[in-house]
Structures are given as C-alpha cells and as structure tokens.
Structure 1
Amino acid sequence: MSLSNEDNSNQGQTYQVWDKPIRVFHWLNLLLVLSLIFVGLIMLFKREIGITSLEAKIGLKELHVVIGYIFAANLFIRILWGFLGDRFAKFSSNMPKIAEIKKYKAALRKGDNPQYLGHNPVGKLAVVIIMLTLVIIMLTGLIRAGTDIYYPPFGGVITEFIAADGVDAASIKPYDETGVDKAKLAEVKPYKSIAGTVHLYLVYFLLLLIVLHVVGVILAELKHQPGIISAMFSGKKRLEGTPLDK
C-alpha cells in the first residue's frame, strides 16, 4: 500500500491498493468466464440452433476446453499471487471473519459508513466464495475434458485405462468406441457424469454470484464507498478519513 502524490488533507487521500496482476486477473477472468458461458450455452442448445454433426459437437467442446485452459492458467496465477503478492493480494488478508462481518453490518445499521482500502468484511466473504467456486469449476472442467474428449491433464490416463488389450491408447478417439474396452468405459461414465453435473450447476451458481457481486458493488459505490469500481481499473482508491484496514 502506498500513498500517492495526489493527497490533499481537505479532499481525502489517494491510496494505491490493487496491483496490476490483481487487476489483470479480474478483467481477464471476467472475459474468459463470459466466453466459456457463451460457448457452453451453444453446446447445451446445439440441436435447437441446428448443430447436429459429431465434428461440430467435438469442435465446440475443443473450443470450450482451450478457453478453459487459459481460464485455468489465469486462475492458477491468481492463486500463486495470493501467496506471493502484496498485502491486498494475499489470501491471508482476505479471509472473512464472522466477528468483523457482524461489526460491519451493525455499523451500517447505525448509519455509520466504515471505509476500507481492501475489501470490506462482506466483500471478503464474497471473494472467498467466488474463488472456491471458480476452483471447483476448473477442476471439474479438466476432469470432464479428460473423460469426454481425452484432453490433458487426465485424457492420457483415461485412454490408457479404457483401451482394449493390445490397442494403442493414442488411437482412441472421442465418441468412437473402436479399440475401447466397453466394460472399462462403463466404469468411467459415472465419474464423467458426476463431474459434468457438478460443473454445470456450479456455473449456474457462479452466474448468480456474478449478479449479486455486480449489484453489491453498484450499491457500495453509490451508498458507502465511491470509487471502488474505478479502483479496479486504476488500482487507486480515494478515501476521506482513516480506513479501518490502513
């Protein structure tokens, strides 16, 4: 955290809060999530929009997976930065505490307007829930990619397992049972189904979280702490008074 040269005691102080890696992750993550949802919706409703060929079906899944790899890499970097980054990037500074949440909500009910450089206590809780949801979506997506179209990191293990005796695992193709041990394929299908179901419904949950997040940020911007939206672009927050987490 640093105090900028733009400080003016009569107009508040400007603090550098969000570093560039955090800001890049935030906006890139949004773009990737929206892209994945868009492709996912096409996959869900492919028949309704006239996509029926196996090649198109596999192509859509491959596109979804490739975007998913970029999403996973971005998320991995953010997780790493949660241990190596500055104070406001670290997970240790963003762990929600029940006592702090109660105190914050009580202050709002009294008409007070507590200011924070980083996330307020409710915001910290939202961030943790969103991050956990993203991680599980990533993991189930990778499992599904491996069991569905045999993409890394799990695809090689799956094809080795389901290949019939004497068949080269590299010759196994998605949605083609040539060279496949059907009994072993049947063993894999329940795990594939569970991963797909969890993945799908967590995406629905993520959509709800995104809506709640956007509404919460807008309300906070208008009622409690102006400038929190612009801070995610500039990294800077301008506050009047002393922030509680300075």
Structure 2
Amino acid sequence: MAAETSSTVRVWDLWTRLFHWSLAVCFATAWLTSGTWQSVHEWSGYAVAALVAWRVLWGLVGPRQVRFSGFVRSPATALKHLASMRHGREPRYLGHNPAGAWMIVALLAGLGLQTFSGWLSTTDAFWGVGWLQEAHGFLGNLLLALVGLHVAGVVASSWLQRENLARAMITGHKRAPGPDDIV
C-alpha cells in the first residue's frame, strides 16, 4: 500500500505573505490619502519603500519559491503563458506563473520609482518641482492600473486552475502538485 500524500503543500512562507498583505494595505493607504492627509501619505510611502527593499532582499536570499531566480522566466515565456491562458491550456505552476512573475517585477520596480519620486519631492532640491509631482501622480495611477491587472490575473488564474490563489496567499498552502504541474 502506497503512503498517503498530503493534498496541499506549503508554497508561501509567513514573511512573504505578511509582506504581500502589508504592501497592499500601505499602498492603498498612500493612494487614498494622496492630497489629503499628507503625513499619513508620506509615512505610508516610507513603509512601502521599506517593504519593497525587504522584498528585493528576500527575492535574492529567501526560500526557493520566492527567490527571483526561482520564478522569473523570459518575457517570451510569459507571453506564451498568457496565450495559453487565453486558450485554457496553461500549465499549472506551484509558485508564480511566468506572467505573474513579470507582474511582480513591474510592481516592485514601479513602487520603487514611486517611493523615490515621493521622497525626492520632500527634499529641498526638488520641493515643488512640477514635473516630479506630475511623474509621482502618473506613477500612482499607473500602479493602480497594474494592481487591477494583478487582481484580474489572480482571479483568472484561480478560475482556470480551479484553485483559490488569494487564499493561498493567506494560508501559504496550495494544492499538491500533479504530474503535469511545474514545480
């Protein structure tokens, strides 16, 4: 008789999950307080900057599933994955799929630029500089659009894979890999 296997496996460590939801709260707070509660907006931005710096570090030294080298694939692979999703033939990835990986890269890069432009706006050299304020506002709206695409991708992948990815980012567990899944 074969040994019984678990129906789920841990994919996301506690630190990655705390990062994800903390970033969501801090970004939402910064976006919602823009132009109103400046102090809250700035401190939320500093928190986002610290979280992004931590995630970049964790992406270099963290567990295999969260290391950039473990999930970022070529842009061509990401485009092929999106095409296969359109036709309902995408493979299931235990960790991030190639399109999701590039969304993470885009979000981290955008948030890095966003927080840097916000910080620059508080310095003597760039206080009140119009183009920087416009860039900061543009980046905020671009990031909001990327977040919308991220959520849509999570919903689409959850539906196509018949797996609640948002729940996995809360519990850390996903369905155990099958023979055709990419680990």
TM-score class, shorter-chain normalisation, is 0.7 to 0.9
Q: Are the structure 2 counterparts of residues 237 and 61 from structure 1 closer, same or farther at C-alpha, using a change threshold of 3 Å? A: same
1:69 to 2:50 alignment: no
1:118 to 2:121 alignment: no
Task: Give, in angstroms, the shift of residue 99 of structure 1.
Answer: 3.5
3-state secondary structure, aligned to 1:237: strand
For residues 32-43 of structure 1, the aligned pairs below 5 Å read 32-40=26-34, 43=35
AA partner of residue 95 (structure 1): V
Task: Supply the RMSD in Å over aligned alpha carbons.
Answer: 2.4
Which 10-residue stretch deviates more, 60-69 or 24-33?
Answer: 60-69
3-state secondary structure, aligned to 1:146: coil
Query: Which one of the candidate residues 12, 15, 23 is aligned to 2:9?
Result: 15
Q: Are the structure 2 counterparts of residues 27 and 6 from structure 1 closer, same or farther at C-alpha, using a change threshold of 3 Å? A: farther
Unmatched runs of 5 consecutive residues or more in structure 2 = none
Q: Are the structure 2 counterparts of residues 63 and 103 from structure 1 closer, same or farther at C-alpha, using a change threshold of 3 Å? A: closer
Contact 2:114 2:139 survives alignment (8 Å): yes
Task: Give, in angstroms, the shift of residue 235 of structure 1.
Answer: 0.7
Partner of 1:146: 123
Q: Are the structure 2 counterparts of residues 240 and 94 from structure 1 closer, same or farther at C-alpha, using a change threshold of 3 Å? A: closer
AA partner of residue 21 (structure 1): W
Query: Which one of the candidate residues 190, 196, 201 is aligned to 2:138?
Result: 201
TM-score when scaled to structure 2?
A: 0.86
For residues 17-166 of structure 1, the aligned pairs below 5 Å read 17-40=11-34, 43=35, 60-108=37-85, 111-147=88-124, 158=125
Task: Give, in angstroms, the shift of residue 221 of structure 1.
Answer: 1.0
Q: Are the structure 2 counterparts of residues 84 and 240 from structure 1 closer, same or farther at C-alpha, using a change threshold of 3 Å? A: closer
Task: Give, in angstroms, the shift of residue 134 of structure 1.
Answer: 0.7
Q: Are the structure 2 counterparts of residues 144 and 223 from structure 1 closer, same or farther at C-alpha, using a change threshold of 3 Å? A: same
Show CA shifts across 1:205-230 (max 9, x none): 01111111112211211122413121
Structure 1 CA distance for aligned equivalents of residues 76 and 103 of structure 2: 16
Q: Are the structure 2 counterparts of residues 65 and 238 from structure 1 closer, same or farther at C-alpha, using a change threshold of 3 Å? A: same
Partner of 1:217: 154
Show CA shifts across 1:170-228 (max 9, x none): xxxxxxxxxxxxxxxxxx568x3232111110100011111111122112111224131
Partner of 1:237: 174
AA partner of residue 142 (structure 1): W
Structure 1 CA distance for aligned equivalents of residues 4 and 51 of structure 2: 32
Structure of higher RCO (CA pairs closer than 8 Å, 6+ residues apart) = 2
Following TM superposition, the consecutive aligned residue runs of length 4 or more in structure 1 with deviations greater than 4 angstroms are none
* Aligned length, in residue pairs: 181
3-state secondary structure, aligned to 2:30: helix
Contact 2:121 2:127 survives alignment (8 Å): no
Identity %: 30
Structure 2 CA distance for aligned equivalents of residues 243 and 230 of structure 1: 22
TM-score when scaled to structure 1?
A: 0.66
